Structures are given as structure tokens and as C-alpha cells.
Amino acid sequence: MADTLTITDNRTGKQYDLPIKDGFIKATDLKQIKTETDDAGLATYDPAFMNTASCRSRITFIDGDKGILEYRGYPIEQLAEHSTFLETAYLIIFGELPTQAQLVEWTNQITFHTMLHENIKKLMEGFQYDAHPMGVFLSTVGACSAFYPDAKNIFDEQSRRKQTQRLIAKVPTIAAYAYRHSIGRPYNNPDNDLSFTGNFLNMLFRMTELKYKANPVLERALEVLFILHADHEQNCSTSAMRGIGSSHVDPYSAMAGAAAALYGPLHGGANEAVLRMLTEIGSVDNIPGFIKRVKMGEGRLMGFGHRVYKSYDPRAKIIKQTADAVFEVTGKNPLLDIALELERIALQDEYFVTRKLYPNVDFYSGLIYQAMGFPVAMFPVLFAIPRTAGWIAQWEEMLLDPEQKIARPKQVYIGSARRDYVSRDQRG
């Protein structure tokens, strides 16, 4: 017998059998539950989508209680150990690990698209020197919509492939230019002999040397961080990408919105907020006082807690190991001791234990980025670069899913009942 949910409506005494598929009922199946033939039927109320699936997806699997994260079935731990960012991006977007030949072709395609149009550079020059790089990043991604009008052809597979290559290839260049602009240094052109992360570091940090060669440990650490951030199923920014994309706008416009969602301190801006928090705490002695204030509701312990993970975020575990390798090269980040002690205290504290609040991906990533020489304001941008792969994959899956339509949630209206307009002179 098929799984069903039987509902008795006490208002009418009627019974309904709703099919259960993959552990979900369809919200639209509730519409048949009515008291009058012409009422709109029953619906669900779910602010912040706490218990509602908005799509069926084949991309990323998370088991938040067990701390499992898989891209297309491959455990994140194995990808972080053996893969590269470009290979993982290919896996996320196309569904399978590439063959040798496919990887060579994919790498060439990405390499071919790393340059920015000179007018995009001019546009970026228009920002003030103190503009936040994430604001510059998301505006420039949006501006690409105007530079690549062919991106409108979203149902043309060739066009989607082209925009995919452009987006993955150009986001590091945009990010690096945003950084160079903020410190008043000339832009470095991409060096296509280098790896994806090696080239990114080149565009950020090359000075007068003819050829920039990043420290291989740091280049690999960035690769691992990029793999860890490449997708995370239906989070706030991905939902924004899907929601905006569902209006059939071009992917650059949709991604500008996704990047904007990522910018917020509760999402991709959290790594920046963690660093500012650790700096503000200043010393291990100040931790008990800080924890006390958090428990009294005066602010949050940034980098802790997650909507989905109710155990240790598997990405945070990998990042902690990566941090050790990076600090061997750069020297220890002095804020590490504060972070470790904060984690130790929080993991024993009843407030955090009962709420299942554990370190998330952002708790340690900022410490690594800072040790590598990135300014704090660049942290959300460093999240956006790899997440581009996930956004594109999720956008394309949404576009090709026959069950999807323009996203349009319902509301429960609680405002005034109908009333007549009162003329200005009668309003006192």
C-alpha cells in the first residue's frame, strides 16, 4: 500500500488521504480541504521555510543531525582531500566527475574567459576607494547582464554553457579587481598558466615580479576552502538565485541577487562578523563576559549555529585541519587562541548544548583568510567565488524542472478589513 496521510477535518467531518512521497506531502494537495466549495482550501503557514521543501534536487545532500554533506553523492571529506575546485564545480554543475579529457576541456574553457571587458573595469573604477568589496562584487556581477545580452536566451543550452563558463571564470577577476581598487593598486591581468586559485592569488597579490607563484600550501588551502563552499543546497542565497531566476531573468541578474543575499551577516557575511567579534573580544580573559552577554540575548556568537546542522558542521572540521597547515606557513593567527577557547567553553555550556549550536563553516575560515593576507571585508567575496558553481547548478536545475513555475509564496493577510477612503480634510 502506498504511504498516505489521512486527515480528518473536524469542521466538516470529511476525511482525506494525501499521498506521501519521499517523506513529503504536497502542499497543494491540502487545497482540496474546504468548508465551502468556493473557498481557497487549506494551506500551510511556514515563515522562513522552516519545514517546507521548495524543489526536488539532485545536487547536494545534507543530513544535519549526522553532519553529512555530499555533492552529487560524493562525501565532502573525499572531495576536499582529492579534488580541485574546478573539478568539483564540474561535478556540481554537470552531475558527474569529469573524464580526463572533459577536465582539460573545462579548464581551457574557464581559462579562456578570465579577462574582464575594459568597460567593466571602468565601471568598477567608479566606486569610492572605501566601497565594500562585496558591494562592488554584486554590482559588477549584475552589470554583466548589460555586457552579455545573449544571456537572456536562458532556454538555449549553448548560451547557458557560455554564461556558466563566463561566470565561473570571471568572478575571481571581479573579486581581485574589487580588492586592488580598494587598496589603490593597479589591476593584475589573469595569468592563464596558473591554477584557478593560483591565478586568483596572482591577481590579488602580484606586485612588480614578472611571474607570481603562490605558496603551494596556501594555494591548496584556498582550493579546499573553495570546494567546501561550492554548494549547500537550499540556503538563503541559493533560494534567492532560484526565486529570481524563476522569473526567467538572465543568470547575471539572478546572481547579483544571490550575492546580495549572501552578503548579510547571518549568511556569507558571518565569516567577516566572526573576525570582528574575535577582535572585539580581544583576549581569552574576556570570553566569559562575552558568552554571558550572548546568553542574555545581547548579540550572537557568530560562526555558531546553523539552520540545518544540529551537530558539528562537517566543513568546520576540515577547515580546522586546513588552518593547521596554513598557520605552519604564515605563523599562527593570534586570534586562534580566542576562537579555540570560545569553542571549548561554548561546547560545554548548557545554553549552546541544549540549542545544538556548534561551530559552522565560518567560525575558522576567517582566521585562515586573515593569515593568508586577505582583509576582513574580502571574506564574503571569498565565499561568493566558489558558491557561483552551486548557484549556477541550482538555477539550471530549477529552469529545467517541469514542476517549477515563477516563485510566488502565499501570505496570511492580517491587515485592516476593507474600509472607505477618508478625505484629507476629515482626517484632522
425 is annotated as an active-site residue? no
CA–CA separation, 75 and 302 (whole Å) = 26
What is the CB neighbour count within 10 angstroms for residue 230?
Answer: 26
For residue 125, give the C-alpha cell. 573604477
Partners of 75 in the β-ladder = 70
Residue 294 binds ligand CMC, judged by CB under 6 A: yes
> Which residue has the CB atom at the shortest distance from ligand CMC?
305
Question: According to CB under 6 A, which one of 172, 305, 380, 386 is a site residue for ligand CMC?
Answer: 305
Distance of CA 1 to the CA centre of its chain: 40
Question: According to CB under 6 A, which one of 138, 171, 254, 357 is a site residue for ligand CMC?
Answer: 357
Partners of 19 in the β-ladder = 4
Name, in order, each residue with C-beta under 8 angstroms of 159's C-beta and a sequence gap of 6 or more. Answer: 150, 151, 153
User: Are residues 204 and 180 in contact, defined by beta-carbon separation less than 8 angstroms?
Assistant: yes
Question: According to CB under 6 A, which one of 114, 188, 235, 333 is a site residue for ligand CMC?
Answer: 235
Question: According to CB under 6 A, which one of 198, 243, 268, 386 is a site residue for ligand CMC?
Answer: 268
Question: According to CB under 6 A, which one of 360, 365, 370, 394 is a site residue for ligand CMC?
Answer: 360
CA–CA separation, 273 and 277 (whole Å) = 6
362 is annotated as an active-site residue? yes
Residue 300 binds ligand CMC, judged by CB under 6 A: yes
Q: What angle do CA 34, 37, 38 make, to 5 degrees?
A: 100
Name, in order, each residue with C-beta under 8 angstroms of 392's C-beta and a sequence gap of 6 or more. Answer: 93, 163, 164, 167, 168, 251, 255
Residue 303 binds ligand CMC, judged by CB under 6 A: yes
The site map against ligand CMC for 326-355 (x = CB under 6 A) is -----------------------------x
CA–CA separation, 254 and 214 (whole Å) = 33
Residue 302 binds ligand CMC, judged by CB under 6 A: yes
267 is annotated as an active-site residue? yes
Question: According to CB under 6 A, which one of 72, 166, 180, 306 is a site residue for ligand CMC?
Answer: 306
* One-letter-per-residue 3-state SS of 19-46: ECECCECCHHHHHHCCCCCCCCCCCCCC
Least separation in angstroms between CB 259 and ligand CMC? 13
Of the candidates 63, 267, 349, 401, the residue annotated as catalytic is 267
Least separation in angstroms between CB 424 and ligand CMC? 43
Question: According to CB under 6 A, which one of 87, 231, 362, 396 is a site residue for ligand CMC?
Answer: 362
Least separation in angstroms between CB 45 and ligand CMC? 16
For residue 384, give the C-alpha cell. 561568493
Between 343 and 362, CB nearer to ligand CMC = 362
Residue 88 binds ligand CMC, judged by CB under 6 A: no
What is the CB neighbour count within 10 angstroms for residue 82?
Answer: 11
User: Are residues 250 and 154 in contact, defined by beta-carbon separation less than 8 angstroms?
Assistant: yes
Give the residue numbers marked as catalytic: 267, 306, 362
Residues in touch with ligand CMC (CB under 6 A) = 232, 235, 266-268, 270, 294, 300-307, 355, 357, 360-362
